[in-house]
């Protein structure tokens, strides 16, 4: 399998399993690479780190859940792979510039989000 194919496989895995605890070791095994080679190859092919891609995937899903459901923030956090709502809120704010509750209000009012 080429590096490009391996990275594609890793991205598909993240896209499907972002709500679980995803580790570099697990992804490296999936890609048949060492963890350091995976990190290097992923950034070279995708222009961002594995962790950045995972976080962005989680935040996109969180925005969909916040705007499309009545789930509380804690449940949204759990669904996108965070055990603690506070850690999720901090990551969400860092990524989007808003708190999850602000994103929900903004989306309900027709505002534009991270998506």
Per-residue pLDDT of the chain (115 residues; tens, 9 = 90+): 799 999 999 999 999 999 999 999 999 999 999 999 999 999 999 999 999 999 999 999 999 999 888 899 999 999 999 999 999 999 999 999 999 998 887 655 555 555 5
- CA–CA distance, 17 with 11 (Å, rounded to integer): 10
Could you tell me the residue ranges of all domains in the chain? 3-47, 53-108
> Regarding the domain delimited by 53-108, which CATH topology (the fold level of the hierarchy) does it fall under?
Arc Repressor Mutant, subunit A (1.10.10)
- Tell me the pTM: 0.87
Which DSSP category does 2 fall into? -
Q: Exposed, middle or buried by CB within 10 Å (0-12, 13-18, 19+), for 46?
A: middle
């Amino acid at each position: 399998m080429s590096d490009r194919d391996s990275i594609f496989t890793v991205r598909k895995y993240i896209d499907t399993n972002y709500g679980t605890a995803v580790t570099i070791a697990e992804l490296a095994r999936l890609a048949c690479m060492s963890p350091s080679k995976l990190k290097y190859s992923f950034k070279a092919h995708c222009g961002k780190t594995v962790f950045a891609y995972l976080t962005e995937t989680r935040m996109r899903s969180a925005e969909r859940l916040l705007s499309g459901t009545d789930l509380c923030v804690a449940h949204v956090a759990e669904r996108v792979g965070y055990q603690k709502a506070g850690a999720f809120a901090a990551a969400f704010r860092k990524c989007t510039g808003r708190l999850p509750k602000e994103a929900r209000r903004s989306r309900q009012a027709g505002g534009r989000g991270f998506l």
